[in-house]
Amino acid sequence: MPPVPGQRAAPGIVIGGRYALRTAIGHGGMGTVWRASDTLLRRDVAVKEVILPPNLAPSDRDSMYQRTLREARAAAALSHPSVVQVYDVVTEAGRPWIVMELLQARSLAEMIVEDGPLAARAVAKIGIALLGALEVAHAAGVLHRDVKPANVLISGDGRCVLTDFGVARMPTDSELTTPGMVLGSPHFISPERAIGAKFGPPSDLFSLGVTLYTAVEGRPPFDKRDPFETMRAVVEEPPAQAMRAGPLAGVLYGLLEKDPSRRWNVETARAVLRDLMAGPLASNAPAHMTDPYAVVRPTHQPTVVTPQQPTGQIGGRAMMAPGETVSGALRRMHSAPAQAGPAHADAELERTDASRFSAGALGADWTQAPPPPPKGNVAQQFVERAKRAPTAAKIAVAAGVAVVLIAAVAFSGLFSGENETPQSERPIGTSSSGPAKPSFEVEAFTHPGGITVNVPKGWTKKQQGNASAPYFDITDPSDSNRRIRVNIEKASSTPKAFLESAEKRLQTTASSCAPPYARANMDEDKLDGHDGAVLEYTCGTGDQQRHALWNAIVVGGKAYHFFVTVPETRFQESRAIFDEMVRSFKLSGGPSGQ
């Protein structure tokens, strides 16, 4: 018996004359995912029933149905083991039903919440799988536009699948996207999409970087009090310092590059991940044990222990409360008053069966009229304007995904620097209050050209170069692989251009940087009140990989710069050295540095 138009389906109903619904395995605000039997081919499938709110205008209802059909067309056009397979699309009772392969799986978001952060090796495997899925999608002209942990499924056999192309865009479907609007969850939107700029495949790769960062760290790299503050952080702030990623950090920061033209592409990210899998992230299992190319942990291995956090919270303030389950979070969001706190922007299917099956989910909308370009303090007005949004704007929790549809402010100041809120005056990854004073002993070091800076006490200092243009190497006497260099040289460019030129030398000079060179981040900064730039990068692979931070300012035709370079395994403990050098740096010759 087919369903009645306007009513929800029930077990026993047959869709399209062949798909018999059996059990509802997931519910959300926009519909239900059913376990069903394909009576023609005699196999189990997943059927997504789409039910829209009854108060939607007819035009909005038609647009949403078109988007659902578009999701099916986008996914059906792709063939890859890491893309959920679409079998059929059926129009029944006046609405679309999507028939997909049935996966016994948990979402990556669910794994993070329930099991804690994943091991770096598992995250590297997930990254390789999802890069393959995006490569195929982008080659077919399909943008996913909502890559996030809730849309990544991990099957019991270790297969990793990207699902929910509900906000994907085929080139011929551009008319379904309102100009000036962006789609996606605020934690995972790329900077260019957050400001309404033109975007393409690099935008999906940024979202992938956020997803992998969240998987290995247990929290997103940009997480603030509410979705609007979070989007501002995505555009303006560096990602939070990775504490658990280890050698994976370089890939994460490469994908999280704010400038799309410099963001790592599929080939670069995949090559480095494969090198890591063969080197620092190689399996340490005994020789007699197999290490299948699967993401899930074998049952005999213990759960990864979540690093101690003061609040016990996993996922950040805008994601999940301490000890809260996925279904509990949904109930809290549905019942809590608006002033109780920020809304969770990533809901999942509530579990209704002992196992989790999923075939993707349909996104819901959050809409408001586009505001005019703000003046003055751009970032602050962006946040204030968003907080004054009409009360009709809302976050709707969908079956597996809450999609934020936000009017974007189409202004260029956030990237150009004009009328821009100044960058935080601190090195990448430090707290908003600035670098803390170090826990190790320091002593002042003075370069005769006009730099005074604190360095670890007792480290060996050696003058290099010639008397007219000296530079100084300062080395840990107990570990010659930990080094500092302080230098001054002629320069007529900006600090960022100076570091980009230095970066080219690193890429082409094996004696300075063993290949492969990989940029982790490049950002503008302040140093002793002067505009500067910071470059973070890695060199080499395996046990020989090095990690470095390089800071530079250009004043009076001279570049004043220093870097800290250490083995990858000692980068986290050595970062405090760099932070102290930033904190203590002074141009001893006055404002001009001369």
Mean pLDDT of 544-564: 93
Q: How confident is the model at residue 28 (pLDDT cuts 50, 70, 90)?
A: low
Cα distance between residue 592 and residue 352, in whole Å? 68
Mean per-residue pLDDT over the chain, rounded: 73
Which amino acid belongs to residue 232? R
Does the pLDDT of residue 427 top 60, yes or no?
no
What average pLDDT does this structure show over 85-96? 84
Higher per-residue confidence, 25 vs 438: 25
Q: For residue 67, which of 370, 310, 397, 405 has the smallest C-alpha distance?
A: 405
Percent of the chain with pLDDT over 90: 38
> Cα–Cα distance between 108 and 111 in angstroms, integer?
5
The pLDDT value given to residue 509: 85
Say yes or no: do domains 104-167+176-282+292-416 and 442-587 share a fold: no
The model's confidence at residue 357, banded by pLDDT at 50, 70 and 90, is very low
Least confident of 9-23, 81-95, 337-351: 337-351
Q: Do 69 and 86 meet the contact criterion of CB atoms below 8 Å apart?
A: no
Mean pLDDT of 415-423: 31
Range with the poorest average pLDDT among 123-127, 234-238, 287-291: 287-291
Q: Alpha carbon of 462 to those of 440, 445, 486: distances in Å? A: 21, 12, 11
Contacts of 448 (CB under 8 A, 6+ apart): 470
This prediction has a pTM of 0.51
Bigger pLDDT: 304 vs 477: 477
Whether pLDDT at 306 is above 80: no
Please say whether the beta carbons of 375 and 217 come within 8 A: no
Q: From its phi and psi, is residue 61 left (phi > 0), alpha (psi between -120 and 50) or beta?
A: alpha
pLDDT of residue 555: 92
Give the distance from CA 65 to its chain's centroid. 29
Q: 40-44, 190-194, 283-287, 378-382: which has the minimum mean pLDDT?
A: 378-382
DSSP element (H, E) containing 554 = strand 546-555
pLDDT-derived band at 560 (thresholds 50, 70, 90) equals very high
Q: Which two tokens stand for residue 40?
A: 């023609």
CA gap 413, 401 in Å, rounded = 31
Tell me which amino acid residue 212 is.
L
Question: Whole-angstrom Cα distance, residue 493 to residue 501?
Answer: 10
Does 22 have pLDDT greater than 90? yes
Determine which of 59-73, 226-240, 249-263, 340-354 has the lowest per-residue pLDDT on average.
Answer: 340-354
Regarding predicted confidence, which is higher, 339 or 565?
Answer: 565
Q: Which of 95, 583, 214, 151 is nearest to 401 (CA)?
A: 151
**CATH superfamily label, 104-167+176-282+292-416:** Transferase(Phosphotransferase) domain 1 (1.10.510.10)
**Residues in the annotated binding site for ATP:** 48
- Secondary structure element (H or E) that encloses residue 138, with its range: helix 120-139
Pick the more confident residue, 523 or 321: 523
Q: Return the minimum-mean-pLDDT range out of 92-106, 244-258, 377-391, 530-544.
A: 377-391
**Whether pLDDT at 390 is above 50:** no
Q: What is the pLDDT of residue 3?
A: 64
pLDDT of residue 359 exceeding 60: no
Q: Rounded to whole angstroms, how far apart are CA atoms 533 and 559?
A: 11
pLDDT digits (tens, 9 = 90+) for 132-177: 999 999 998 888 888 999 889 998 888 999 987 654 555 444 433 4
User: Catalytic residue positions?
Assistant: 146
Residue 69: which H helix or E strand, with range?
A: helix 58-76
User: Is pLDDT of 11 > 80?
Assistant: yes
Give percent of the chain above pLDDT 70: 67
| CB neighbours of residue 138 within 10 Å | 18
Residue type, 49: E
Residue 585 binned pLDDT confidence (cut-offs 50, 70, 90): very high
* The pLDDT value given to residue 572: 86
User: Per-residue pLDDT averaged across 424-438, rounded?
Assistant: 41
Q: Which two three-digit tokens encode residue 356? A: 């989790």
Q: Which residues, in sequence order, are bridge partners of residue 86?
A: 100
Q: What is the tens place of the pLDDT at every residue in 456-484? A: 999 999 998 887 788 999 999 999 999 99
pLDDT tens for each residue of 181-204: 344 478 999 999 988 888 899 999
d(CA 212, CA 481): 29
Residue 348 has pLDDT above 50, yes or no: no
Per-residue pLDDT averaged across 36-52, rounded?
89
When comparing pLDDT for 319 and 465, which is higher?
A: 465
Give the sign of the dihedral formed by CA 416, CA 417, CA 421, CA 423. positive
φ/ψ of 455, rounded to 5, equals -135, 165
* Residue 200: how many other CB atoms lie within 10 Å: 12
Average pLDDT over residues 37-57: 86
Whether 547 and 568 have beta carbons less than 8 Å apart is answered as yes
| CATH match for 442-587 among 3.40.47.10, 3.40.640.10, 3.30.420.40, 3.40.1000.10 | 3.40.1000.10
Question: What's residue 201's pLDDT?
Answer: 94
Q: For residue 24, what pLDDT band results from cuts at 50, 70 and 90?
A: confident
Q: What is the mean pLDDT of residues 528-556?
A: 91
The owner of tokens 């990254």 is: 127
Helix (H) or strand (E) holding 86: strand 86-92
Burial class for 86, CB neighbours closer than 10 Å (0-12, 13-18, 19+): buried
**Per-residue pLDDT band at 296 (split at 50, 70, 90):** low
Other C-beta atoms lying within 10 Å of the C-beta of residue 499: 23
The Cα 44–Cα 36 span in angstroms is 6
Say what the pLDDT of residue 365 is. 26
Q: Is the peptide bond preceding residue 456 cis, with omega within 30 degrees of 0?
A: no
How many whole angstroms separate alpha carbon 158 and alpha carbon 89? 27
The residue extents of the domains of the chain are 104-167+176-282+292-416, 442-587
Average pLDDT over residues 523-548: 90
Mean pLDDT of 556-565: 94
Per mean pLDDT, which range of 119-123, 176-180, 574-578 is the poorest? 176-180
